[in-house]
């Protein structure tokens, strides 16, 4: 079956369909990863996007459920040069085509993905419509022009209820803006007691969980579309240790008084070089984001830059000068990509332990006793009523 991809600038790609039949619109982006296509498919940060893989052969090792980064894929379309129909991997449970059909995702192959990538690099990411229908080009153009990009992706992909992944050490509240499973895995393998909460959780709701630290997850879209999250972070700054990843990094910057802007074509792939300004060391990182923190907006805030991107000089890491809080734009949990930066989870746990040593809390029984005494002192004085007697 034929499939077509139409960009908003009028460029048309015609190829071979795989996956589900149908039609979808979204922001057309590209990912430079050589492997890891099923982690890309299941990364909630791609919600609302049509993803192009620059590596030419996709599907060759099939799909294994154990490698998923979320319960289901959220992408709006998948674009590849060559789709391999027969995977060669003992772990494969089914094919890529099977997965896309299961979740109603349209795929297109046999197009020039190099040409598509060059267009996106030169002109920037743009809207596109991917279809297996027989509609005319004019109809597709009209439909694409009338569509708009999503702004509620975080609410779509975030958990709707609180749940826990029990551990015996530090309690970490993970605010789910579209969290990858790799973040939970990295925390639990270090013994953390992880509590995952929805993206619209308030500071008071988080406090009631008695966390030792708060981790702000990755997620899709523009950080300015979730202003309530920045307000929540601002309220918790200085009270609890905070670690932000990807979208969490951008929200941390907004909470600290900085600003964000959209990149021309974003950073998506497992091969992005990042320089640590403290040590001078360069790390190869996994990234997936279309927005960045504005360098000039850091001036006048209590934030300082800790990492930069070696390709374009954009900010890749921040730290608060006064409070125990830091963030990175890339993915230390990888999945897919190199694990060079997994040490950041250890740094976060060390920060939590240091904060607890410097700010010892009284035993819970003492707190409850003080609250009861305060309530008793605040009670009205006088003769007891019959009911009280």
Binding residue positions for L-glutamine: 45, 219, 221, 247, 250, 288, 290-291
Run of H or E including 337:
none
Structure tokens given for 50: 């049509």
Q: Is 165 a catalytic residue?
A: no
Of the residues 27, 246, 272, 316, only one is catalytic, namely: 246
Cis peptide before 336 (omega within 30 of 0): yes
Query: Is residue 287 exposed (0-12), middle (13-18) or buried (19+ Cβ within 10 Å)?
Result: buried
Q: What DSSP character marks residue 46?
A: G
Is 333 among the catalytic positions? yes
* Annotation marks residue 289 as catalytic: no
Q: How many CA atoms are closer than 13 Å to the CA of 212, on its beta-carbon side? A: 22
Check if the beta carbon of residue 327 is closer than 8 Å to that of residue 245.
Answer: yes
Contact status, residue 108 vs residue 16, Cβ threshold 8 Å: yes
CA distance 386 to 389: 5
289: Cβ contacts below 8 Å, ≥ 6 apart = 45, 218, 246, 247, 250, 263, 266, 267, 268, 329
Asked whether 283 and 340 are in contact (CB, 8 A), the reply is: yes
Secondary structure letter of residue 341 according to DSSP? T
Active-site position among 27, 39, 316, 333: 333
Residue 2: phi and psi, rounded to 5, are: -80, 145
- SS3 state at 129: strand
- Of 197, 131, 121, 214, nearest to 163 by C-alpha is 197
Please identify which residue in the block is written with the tokens 């504005």: 294
Distance CA 387, CA 389 (A): 5
Residues in the chain: 389
8-state DSSP, 44: G
Residues involved in catalysis: 246, 331, 333
């Amino acid at each position: 079956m034929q499939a077509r991809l139409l960009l908003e600038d009028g460029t048309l790609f015609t190829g071979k369909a795989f996956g589900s039949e149908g039609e979808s619109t979204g922001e057309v982006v590209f990912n430079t990863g050589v492997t890891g296509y099923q982690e890309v498919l299941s990364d909630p940060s791609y919600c609302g996007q049509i993803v192009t893989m620059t590596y030419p052969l996709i599907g060759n090792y099939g799909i294994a459920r154990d490698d998923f980064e979320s319960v289901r894929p959220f992408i709006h379309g998948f674009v590849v040069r060559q789709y391999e129909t027969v995977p060669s991997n003992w772990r494969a449970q089914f094919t890529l085509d099977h997965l896309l059909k299961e979740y109603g995702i349209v795929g297109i192959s046999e197009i020039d993905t190099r040409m598509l990538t060059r267009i996106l690099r030169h002109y920037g990411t743009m809207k596109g419509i991917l279809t297996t229908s027989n509609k005319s080009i004019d109809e597709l153009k009209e439909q694409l022009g009338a569509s708009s990009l999503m702004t509620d992706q975080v609410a779509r992909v975030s958990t709707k209820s609180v749940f826990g992944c029990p551990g015996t050490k530090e309690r970490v509240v993970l605010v789910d803006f579209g969290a990858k499973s790799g973040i939970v895995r990295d925390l639990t393998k270090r013994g953390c007691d992880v509590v995952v909460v929805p993206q619209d959780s308030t500071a008071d709701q988080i406090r009631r969980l008695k966390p030792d630290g708060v981790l702000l997850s990755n997620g899709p879209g523009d950080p300015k579309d979730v202003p309530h999250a920045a307000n929540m972070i601002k309220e918790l700054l200085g009270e609890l240790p905070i670690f932000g990843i990807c979208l969490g990094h951008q929200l941390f910057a907004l909470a600290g008084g900085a600003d964000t802007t959209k990149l021309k074509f974003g950073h998506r792939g497992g091969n992005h070089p990042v320089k640590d300004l403290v040590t001078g060391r360069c790390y190869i990182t996994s990234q997936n984001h279309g927005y960045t923190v504005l360098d000039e907006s850091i001036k006048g805030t209590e934030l300082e830059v800790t990492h930069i991107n070696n390709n374009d000089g954009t900010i890749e890491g921040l730290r608060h000068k006064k409070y125990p809080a830091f963030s990175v734009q890339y993915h230390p949990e990888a999945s897919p990509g190199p694990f060079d930066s997994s040490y950041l989870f250890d740094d976060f746990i060390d920060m939590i332990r240091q904060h607890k040593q410097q700010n010892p809390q009284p035993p819970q029984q003492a707190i409850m006793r003080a609250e009861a005494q305060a309530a008793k002192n605040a009670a009205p004085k006088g003769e007891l009523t019959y009911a009280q007697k």
